[in-house]
Amino acid sequence: MARAESVLRADGLEKRFGALVVLDAVDFTVGCREAVGIVGPNGAGKTTLLNVLSGRNTPERGQILFAGEDVTGLDVAARCRLGIARSHQIPRPFGGMTVFENLLVAAEAGAGLRGPAATRRALETLALCGMLPRANRRAETLGLLDRKRLELARALATEPVLLLLDEIGAGLTDAEAQILVEIIAAIRAQGIAIVWIEHIVHVLVKVVGRLVCMDAGRVIADGAPDAVLRDAAVIDAYLGQAAHAASHG
Amino acid sequence: MMAAPDMRVERWTRRAQGFVVSLLLLALVLAFGPLLFSAGITDRLSELFVYVMLAVTWNLLAGYGGLVSVGQQAFFGLGAYLAVRLSAAGVSVYPALLLAGLMTGALALAIGEVMLRLEGGEFAIGMWVVAELAHLLVNLDPLVQGETGTSLIALDAFSAAARRADTYWAAFAAMVLLLVLVFAVLRGRLGTALQAIRDDEIAAASLGVRVLATKRVVFMLAAGGAALAGALWLATAITFQPHAYFSVQWTAYMIFMTLVGGLGTFEGPVIGAVLFFTVEWLFGASGVWYLIGLGAAALGFALFAPRGLWGAFTERFPERLLPLGYHVVGARAAAAAGGGEER
């Protein structure tokens, strides 16, 4: 892929927690408007990769370019204002505020909008995510699906160029996950690049055009979803386990 | 898909507007206080205004910013001390009170640079340490003469009646100014960012909120407000003995007023201040039993009405008299019309 076409380019990322190497020389690129899925066994370093890309964790080594700009030294908030938004695996709603106010924070702080423009952004995003009927609810009263939707909507209200999703489908039923898939497909149709970590592979491949498989802090496969899922290393490290687990209920 | 034309975001209601008009009328009456009320009442009202300022600033910090401090007496004391210092240096006395508040606010920028890096209990106790440190440092000043203290001598130049009226007006103006300022801050972008930080700091940062800068602003505002309250308290009491100003009891009062009135609501602390003031007026002379009563009341509220009087009230009547938040009108209808999911 040509350099000019990539929205995000990470080279040689290394992250350690004490003696444990969680990311080991990871190169990772996301093209403009591209949707990439990340799979891999637990402990492969998927969430850490997302944390390093979003700025929550600082890598020991490596460089992250976003839209051609070096963002390696910027904190989470600064990267969000540039256009990298993320959702958390366990939703983190602002419980004391209403759903609308949750999105307003994102539109004001993340997208830098003010007054009516911020209000409009919040309302349009609520509509896209099917959350208008919940607009005036205090976020702490929401159930799991709505918390996940809020997490997604809030990230989207920051007007991101790149959206990082961390297991947003985890804990949902298939029907509930389908609702999220439709929203994420709509987000993708707007031209927003997406990096999505998910264990539910059949949900993931409905949206992403490329799949990356990680194991023990390394990228072991990267390419079209079909090819990656047929890759021997992937089957050995990840899908074999999954198939094994599935066959035993 | 897009917002239906009849959907809008409401911030004021008709009832709230009516309430603001009645508040303005009350303010108009209070503005003529010294001409209307007896000397005793005028003095007590000046003290009430100081209480309101203390409760409102503590609530701004803890109720909206999640920054629970047990050391706000640091700023209360520094405000009084700087007022004495400025007055001794020749600044005329009432401007010195305001200047002391502003200077303490500026000083809080430096203190916050260290303290705001602490979290939760560390911040709370750390602030108490700051207060003790400020107390000790002030005691070293030869003008203060340790715990002997000093007085705001410049006030002796006024007659008792003029002093009473001027202090009343100064306290009233300071309270109104602070209430309007805090209200404006909480209703604006800073207010939503601050509440987001209170509820989840990590999520706030990941949405682009400048966490430290936001905390810094409210820390300074709360410090400046408490300092102005301390300077005004000095004007009512005239004598400055460090231990009376740097006492943790001031923060205990702030906590009591805020918890009883309603933590994290704008109206709550004002109600709490009026209540505390009334209780103190009626029972303050009863010594130990008064303190036991206060403690029991605080405990009772913490256990049975954790959101305070105003919090309990708004659970039954959701409409706010001084609304800070946002209410989306017509959202359900718009979602139904736009084919949005209704589940």
Contact B196/A94, CB-based, under 8 Å? yes
Phi and psi torsions of B70, nearest 5°: -110, 20
Is residue A184 within 8 Å of A177, Cβ to Cβ?
no
Determine, yes or no, domain membership for B92: yes
The tally of domains found in chain A comes to 1
b/e A141-171 (16+ beta carbons within 10 angstroms → b):
ebeebbbbbbbbbbbbbbbbbbbbbbbbbee
Search chain B and give the residue with CA nearest A145.
B343
Residues of B in contact with A126 (CB under 8 A): 331
User: Residues of chain B whose C-beta is under 8 A from some C-beta in A?
Assistant: 1-3, 7, 9, 189, 192-193, 195-196, 198-200, 202-211, 264, 325-328, 331-332, 334-335, 338, 340-342
CA distance B62 to B169: 28
Q: Tell whether the torsion through CA atoms of B239, B243, B246 and B248 is positive or negative.
A: negative
Expressed as residue numbers, the domain containing A83 is 3-45+54-218+227-247
Asked if A173 is an interface residue toward chain B (Cβ–Cβ < 8 A), one would say: no
Place of tokens 């810094």: B216
Determine, yes or no, domain membership for B164: yes
CA distance B98 to A10: 53
Reported as a pLDDT band with limits 50, 70 and 90, residue A90 is very high
Q: How many of the other CB atoms lie within 10 Å of CB of B155? A: 19
CATH classification of the domain holding B87: 1.10.3470
Search chain B and give the residue with CA nearest A140.
B199
Cβ burial, residue A200 (10 Å; 0-12/13-18/19+): middle
CA distance A248 to B22: 70
Our CA-based measurement puts residue A160 at a distance from the nearest CA of chain B, in whole angstroms, of: 10
Residue A184 has pLDDT above 60, yes or no: yes
**Pseudo-torsion of CA B175, B269, B321, A131, nearest 10°?**
120
Residues of B in contact with A114 (CB under 8 A): 189
Pairing mode of beta strands A193-197, A35-39: parallel
CA distance B287 to B68: 28
CA distance B235 to B84: 10
Residues of A in contact with B9 (CB under 8 A): 100, 119, 123
Tokens of A239: 């899908």
pTM recorded for the entire structure: 0.89
Q: Where are the beta strands (DSSP E) in A40-98?
A: 61-66, 69-70, 84-87
Contact B203/A54, CB-based, under 8 Å? no
Contact A56/B203, CB-based, under 8 Å? no
Reported as a pLDDT band with limits 50, 70 and 90, residue B62 is very high
Q: Where are the beta strands (DSSP E) in A61-177?
A: 61-66, 69-70, 84-87, 162-166
Report how far apart, in Å, the C-alpha atoms of A240 and of each of A123, A212, A220, A243, B172 are: 44, 16, 15, 5, 74
- Reported as type and span, the H/E element at residue B10 is strand B8-10
Residues of B in contact with A93 (CB under 8 A): 199-200, 203
CA angle A141, B206, B58 (to 5 degrees): 65
The tally of domains found in chain B comes to 1
Question: Strand, helix or coil at B117?
Answer: coil
The residue that leads in pLDDT, B145 or A183, is: A183
Q: Specify the range with the lowest mean pLDDT, choosing from A2-6, A23-27, B136-140, B238-242.
A: A2-6
Is residue A84 within 8 Å of A76, Cβ to Cβ?
no
- Range picked from B83-92, B143-152, B155-164, B183-192 for highest mean pLDDT: B183-192
Contact B208/A154, CB-based, under 8 Å? no
Mutation for A interface: B189, B206, B211, B341, most A CBs within 10 A: B206
Is residue A13 within 8 Å of A59, Cβ to Cβ?
yes
b/e B14-42 (16+ beta carbons within 10 angstroms → b):
eebeebeeeeeeeeeebeebbeeeeeeeb
Q: Where are the beta strands (DSSP E) in A32-145?
A: 35-39, 61-66, 69-70, 84-87
Reported as a pLDDT band with limits 50, 70 and 90, residue A242 is low
Reported as a pLDDT band with limits 50, 70 and 90, residue B258 is very high
CA distance B197 to B214: 9
- pLDDT at position B117 is 93
Chain centre distance of CA B260: 14
Contact B192/A120, CB-based, under 8 Å? no
Place of tokens 């911040």: B123
- pLDDT at position B91 is 86
| Average pLDDT score over residue span B99-104 | 95
CATH classification of the domain holding A238: 3.40.50.300
Beta bridge partners of A166: A197
Mean of per-residue pLDDT scores for chain B:
88
Residue B340 has pLDDT above 50, yes or no: no
Residue pairs spanning A and B at CB distance below 8 A: 134
Contact A132/B332, CB-based, under 8 Å? yes
Q: Which of A187, A245, A207, A214 is nearest to A53 (CA)?
A: A214
CA distance A238 to A228: 11
Residues of A in contact with B190 (CB under 8 A): none
Expressed as residue numbers, the domain containing B128 is 9-329
| Average pLDDT score over residue span A132-146 | 92
- pLDDT at position A249 is 39
Asked if A216 is an interface residue toward chain B (Cβ–Cβ < 8 A), one would say: no
ipTM of the modeled complex: 0.90
CA distance A154 to A93: 9
What is the DSSP secondary structure assignment for residue A165, as one 8-state letter? E
Q: How many of the other CB atoms lie within 10 Å of CB of A216? A: 14
Q: Specify the range with the lowest mean pLDDT, choosing from A232-236, B148-152, B225-229.
A: B148-152
SS3 content of chain B, % helix, strand, coil (to 5): 75, 5, 20
Residue A107 has pLDDT above 60, yes or no: yes
Residues of A in contact with B342 (CB under 8 A): 133
Question: Strand, helix or coil at B243?
Answer: helix
Search chain B and give the residue with CA nearest A146.
B343
Phi and psi torsions of B9, nearest 5°: -105, 125
Q: Specify the range with the lowest mean pLDDT, choosing from A119-128, B121-130, B278-287.
A: B278-287
Contact A77/B208, CB-based, under 8 Å? yes
- pLDDT at position B5 is 53
Question: Strand, helix or coil at B203?
Answer: helix
